[in-house]
Structure 1
């Protein structure tokens, strides 16, 4: 094969022993996992807000963000559950560009996957330590999630991965909620097929092992918009889209019908300020229709300390995205308080 082995990476269990969860962290995660699961099973009417940077590119700024989020969580915790979006892997449409902290723990330096694995685990642990909030990440590489599977409280399968067999089967073995995004085409039937696969039991090869899974009843939909054959963005957060998804769910036989609406990506055409308006419309739709109120369990928002985005240089603005543009902290505080009022 035309591959050159750079180095042999540590096994997940070895890295977990070197950078362990403390007992206090494990206890907090157990409580958080239960609270989040109760939202998806209908035992809780709290609303989820999965919020944070497009990419977690710097441990200090991400942890400062999450620490602020924890203080805001105390203010709204009777109605909302805030889940920090700590995305350490970035899918790239063309394969080019910054692929996240896993690949490049220092964005302006060459990839180093060993240092990256250590960096992303330390980042998630640090975030819990300073905030008490367990976070979300994207399952971009199924074989890599074992390095973080004891830490995360929520995972997402992206639009480019949702049709992949290994992602679907791996999702079936998770014990936390996993959101399956609609593909970039926007096809809702593909997304629902992916949820069905994730909710089913399977036997397959995972990290050289022959494994079986029981299925993940907490697998659910994420609407992120799509693009047509000309590359034009087609949003799917409108009332009609949510109503159609509700009807499709009712005939699907899927467990725990649920959707989280991603307010950015193709829903906003990456016009990051539109996220505020989009979330407001989703909340209106949810309050207008009782079925949608039960179906819509949360929203995803891309947010960081400083709004907008920047290029990767040696003199970057602290707390500003180096991938997709995000809303800033002031808008984030406003939006989260507004969501709490409208729940």
Structure 2
């Protein structure tokens, strides 16, 4: 095989031993997990806002961002639950480009997977410790999720992964909400088939073990828009899309019907400022129809310290995205307060 072994990596258990959660953080995660789970079970009418950079590229900027979210989270906690988006893996359509902090803890240097798995765990732990908030990440590589499974309170399976059998089966082993994005085609049936798989029990091989999962009743959908056969964006956050999703859900025997609306990606055509308008429309749709309100549990917003994006270079601007363009922090703060008023 044309494959070179660069290094034997530590097991997740070994890494957790070196970088463990304190008793305080274990209790924090338990409390946050239950608060978030109640939203998906319909036991709480709080609204979820999963917000943060497109990709977490450096610990200091990401932790500053999350720390600035913390006082806002406290102000809106009666109505809104903020979940920092700390995405350490970045899917690439062609396979080229920056693949996230797990691959490159320093975007300007060569990939280093050992340094990467240490860096992402340390960053997530620091963000928890300093802010009192537990975070979300993407399940891009199912075998890697257990390096962080004791830390995360939310995970998403991306549009390019949602049809993959391993992602679906591993989602069935999680005890936190797992959001299944619609594929890039926009197909609702593919997305809901993935939710069905995630909610059921399965037996399969995982990291060299024969395992059986219990199924995850908190598996749900994320609408992120799609593209047609000509590559044109097809948003799916409009009221008609939400009504169609509601009808499609009703035909399925699924626990805890729920949707998160991703305000960026193909919903915004990556025009990051559009996220403000899109979230406003989603809130209007929820308030127009009580059944839609019951279904739509939250939104996902890409945001960083500085708005826009930049190329990787020698003199990068601190706190500005190096992947998809993001809202700046000031706009994000106003948006969160607006959500709290309307939800």
**Counterpart residue number, 2:251:** 251
Q: Do structure 1's residue 208 and structure 2's residue 208 form an aligned pair?
A: yes
The residue that corresponds to 1:144 in the other structure is 144
Structure 2 residue aligned with 1:20: 20
Q: What is the TM-score normalised by the length of structure 1?
A: 1.00
Name the residue aligned to 2:87. 87
CA–CA separation in structure 2 for the residues paired with 1:36 and 1:75: 17
**2:102 maps to what in 1?**
102
Question: Equivalents in 2 of 1:205, 1:134: separation in Å?
Answer: 29
- Equivalent runs, 1:98-137 vs 2, <5 Å: 98-137=98-137
Question: What secondary structure, in the 3-state scheme, does the structure 1 residue paired with 2:29 have?
Answer: helix
Q: CA deviation at 1:44?
A: 0.3
The residue that corresponds to 1:324 in the other structure is 324
Instruction: Tell me the equivalent position of 1:235.
Output: 235
Aligned-pair CA distance for 1:211: 0.4
Q: Which residue of 2 aligns with 1:292?
A: 292
Alignment match, 2:186: 186
What whole-Å deviation, never above 9, does each CA across 1:242-298 have from its counterpart, x for those lacking one? Answer: 000001111111110000000000000000000000000000000000100100000
| 1:74-112 Cα deviation digits (max 9, x unpaired) | 110000000000000000000000000000000010000
Unaligned runs of 5+ in 2: none
Task: Say whether residues 1:166 and 2:162 are aligned partners.
Answer: no
- Whether 2:319 is the aligned partner of 1:308: answer no
Deviation at 1:314, TM superposition (A): 1.5
SS at match of 1:185: coil
- What TM-score do you get using the length of structure 2 for normalisation? 1.00
Whole-Å separation in 1 of the counterparts to 2:314 and 2:23: 38
Q: SS state of the match for residue 246, structure 1?
A: helix
Query: How far apart, in 2, do the equivalents of 1:116 and 1:215 lie?
Result: 30
Deviation at 1:66, TM superposition (A): 0.2
The reply to whether residue 338 of structure 1 matches residue 331 of structure 2 is no
Query: 1:269 corresponds to which residue?
Result: 269
Identify the residue that residue 41 of structure 1 maps to in structure 2. 41
**Separation of aligned partners in 1, 2:21 and 2:317:** 31
- Write the deviation string for residues 194-216 of structure 1: whole angstroms up to 9, x where unpaired: 00000000000000000000100
Q: Which runs of 4+ in 1 moved over 4 A?
A: none
- Tell me how far apart the structure 2 counterparts of residues 22 and 76 of structure 1 sit (CA, whole Å): 27
1:57 matched residue in structure 2: 57
* Matches of 2:20 and 2:278, distance apart in 1: 39
The CA deviation at 1:312 is 0.4
State the shift of 1:117 in Å.
0.3
Question: 2:5 & 2:31 partners in 1: Cα distance?
Answer: 41
Number of residues of Structure 1 aligned to a counterpart in Structure 2: 343
Q: Distance in 2 between matches of 1:165 and 1:2?
A: 25
